[in-house]
C-alpha cells in the first residue's frame, strides 16, 4: 500500500504519478450487445494478484451477508443542439445542474457568443431560452421557456451527453443507463453499473447478498482533467447525493454483522464515504459532496469496489489507488492493456477486494 498520506508534504502526491500510456484503440466506443458479457479483472488489494473473468462471474466473489451498493441515478438527455435567435448560429448547451425551477447551470459552446441576454432556440422553437449570467468556470445560468412538461420536451430534443472520448453515436439511449436507473439528474452515467442485468441482480439477491440503492447525480466534472500537478491544490466539483433510511439501515447492519460493503462505481463509493461519520456509521439524508479520495485516505465504509478502467491522471484512478495502492493499480492496468481490455465508459470492469 502506498505510504503517502493527506498531510505528507515531504512525499508530495503528483498528478504525473498516475500517468499511464493507453493505446487509443482500447477506448470502447460502443456498448457490448450483452451487458454482463464484458470482461472482469479481479485485483486483490492486499497481494496485487490479478485474475481474469467474465463479468457475470462476479457472483463467485460475493458472499452471503455482503451488501452491494448501487447508484440509482438516471442520466437525462442533457445535450441540446440549437441556435442563437437572430443569427441562426449553431449552439450546444449541456445541462449540468438544475438551480431552481426552469433555471439551469449549463456548459455552452461557443461560450463567448452567449453573453447574458442572448436568446436561444431549440427544435424549431419547441424550447426557448435566455442566458441570465456567467458563473464560475465560465458556466452559464440559463432560463428555459416551453409549454408542457420540461422532461418530456427534453426527452424529445435532448441527446445523451456522452463523454468526449466517445465519438460514435449511441444507437440506443438506454444503453447509457443502468437497468436500475430511477431518479433523473445525472449528466453522465455511473458506468460500473452498466454491466448488471436484472437477471444478474436477481441471482445476487438469491445468494443472500443485500442490495442498497443510493443516489448521486453525476456531474460533468467527472471528465474534467486535473490541472494542478500537486493534488492538494485540486478542487473537486460538487455533486448532490441522497441516502435513504432503508439504504443506511442495510449498510450499517451489514457492517455490524461483519459483512463487506461492496460499492458499484466510484459514485457509490463517494456517496457512502460522504454520508459516514468518523465511527464508520452511515447516516440517511441528502447533501452536496466535494469529497476527493486519493492515496492516504482511510475508508470508513467501503470494503471492495466494482469499477471500470479510468483515464490516466484522473481523480477516478486516484480513488482506485487509494483503495489498492498506486503501484498495484498501475501494474493491474498495465496487464489489462496487454490483455487488450476495453477502457472507460463502455469498457470492461475491475473488482478490487
pLDDT, tens only, 193-230: 999 999 999 999 999 999 999 999 998 777 678 999 99
**With pLDDT > 70 as the criterion, what percentage of the chain qualifies?**
97
Distance CA 235, CA 253 (A): 34
pTM given for the model: 0.91
pLDDT at 5 over 60: no
Question: Residue 7's pLDDT band (boundaries 50, 70, 90)?
Answer: very low
In this predicted structure, what is the pLDDT of residue 113?
A: 86
Residue 344 confidence (pLDDT) above 50: yes
Evaluate if residue 271 carries a pLDDT over 90: yes
Average pLDDT over the chain, rounded to an integer: 93
Give the mean pLDDT of 292-306.
Answer: 97
Provide, rounded to the nearest whole percent, the portion of the chain with pLDDT above 90: 86
Mean pLDDT of 64-85: 96
Instruction: Summarize the confidence of residues 143-164 as an average pLDDT.
Output: 93
Are 307 and 301 within 8 A, CB to CB? no
Q: What is the mean pLDDT of residues 262-290?
A: 97
Which helix H or strand E contains 318, and what residues bound it? Answer: helix 315-324
Closest alpha carbon to 192 in 171, 170, 218: 218
pLDDT value of position 175: 93
Neighbours of 180 (CB within 10 A): 17
Residue pair 40/54 in contact by the 8 Å Cβ criterion: yes
Would you place residue 10 in the very low, low, confident or very high pLDDT band (cuts 50, 70, 90)?
Answer: very low
Query: In what helix (H) or strand (E) does residue 270 lie, and over which residues does it extend?
Result: helix 266-275
User: Region 240-249: what's the mean pLDDT?
Assistant: 98
Amino acid at each position: 500500500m502506498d505510504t503517502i498520506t493527506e498531510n505528507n508534504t515531504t512525499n508530495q502526491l503528483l498528478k504525473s504519478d498516475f500517468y499511464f500510456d493507453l493505446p487509443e484503440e482500447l477506448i470502447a466506443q460502443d456498448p457490448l450487445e450483452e451487458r454482463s458479457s464484458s470482461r472482469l479483472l479481479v485485483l486483490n488489494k492486499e497481494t496485487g494478484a490479478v485474475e481474469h473473468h467474465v463479468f457475470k462471474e462476479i457472483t463467485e466473489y460475493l458472499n452471503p451477508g455482503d451488501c452491494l451498493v448501487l447508484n440509482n441515478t438516471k442520466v437525462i438527455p442533457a445535450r441540446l443542439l440549437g441556435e442563437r435567435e437572430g443569427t441562426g448560429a449553431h449552439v450546444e448547451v449541456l445541462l449540468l445542474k438544475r438551480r431552481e425551477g426552469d433555471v439551469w447551470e449549463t456548459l455552452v459552446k461557443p461560450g463567448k457568443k452567449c453573453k447574458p441576454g442572448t436568446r436561444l432556440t431549440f427544435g424549431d422553437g419547441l424550447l426557448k431560452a435566455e442566458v441570465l449570467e456567467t458563473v464560475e468556470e465560465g458556466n452559464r445560468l440559463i432560463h428555459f421557456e416551453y409549454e408542457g412538461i420540461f422532461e418530456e420536451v427534453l426527452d424529445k430534443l435532448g441527446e445523451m451527453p456522452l463523454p468526449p472520448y466517445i465519438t460514435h453515436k449511441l444507437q440506443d439511449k438506454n444503453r447509457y443507463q443502468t437497468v436500475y436507473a430511477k431518479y433523473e439528474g445525472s449528466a453522465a452515467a455511473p458506468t460500473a453499473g452498466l454491466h448488471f442485468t436484472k437477471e444478474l441482480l436477481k441471482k445476487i439477491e438469491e445468494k443472500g447478498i443485500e442490495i442498497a440503492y443510493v443516489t448521486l447525480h453525476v456531474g460533468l466534472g467527472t471528465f474534467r482533467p486535473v490541472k494542478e500537478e500537486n493534488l492538494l491544490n485540486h478542487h473537486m466539483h460538487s455533486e448532490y447525493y441522497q441516502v435513504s433510511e432503508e439504504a443506511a439501515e442495510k449498510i450499517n447492519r451489514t457492517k455490524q454483522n461483519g459483512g463487506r460493503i461492496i460499492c458499484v462505481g466510484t459514485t457509490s463509493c463517494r456517496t457512502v464515504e460522504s454520508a459516514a461519520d468518523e465511527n464508520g456509521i452511515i447516516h440517511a439524508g441528502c447533501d452536496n459532496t466535494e469529497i476527493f479520495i486519493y492515496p492516504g485516505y482511510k475508508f470508513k465504509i467501503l470494503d471492495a469496489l466494482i469499477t471500470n478502467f479510468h483515464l490516466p491522471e484522473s481523480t477516478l484512478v486516484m480513488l482506485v489507488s487509494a483503495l489498492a495502492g498506486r503501484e498495484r493499480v498501475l501494474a493491474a492496468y498495465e496487464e489489462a492493456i496487454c490483455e487488450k481490455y476495453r477502457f472507460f465508459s463502455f469498457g470492461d470492469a475491475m473488482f478490487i477486494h
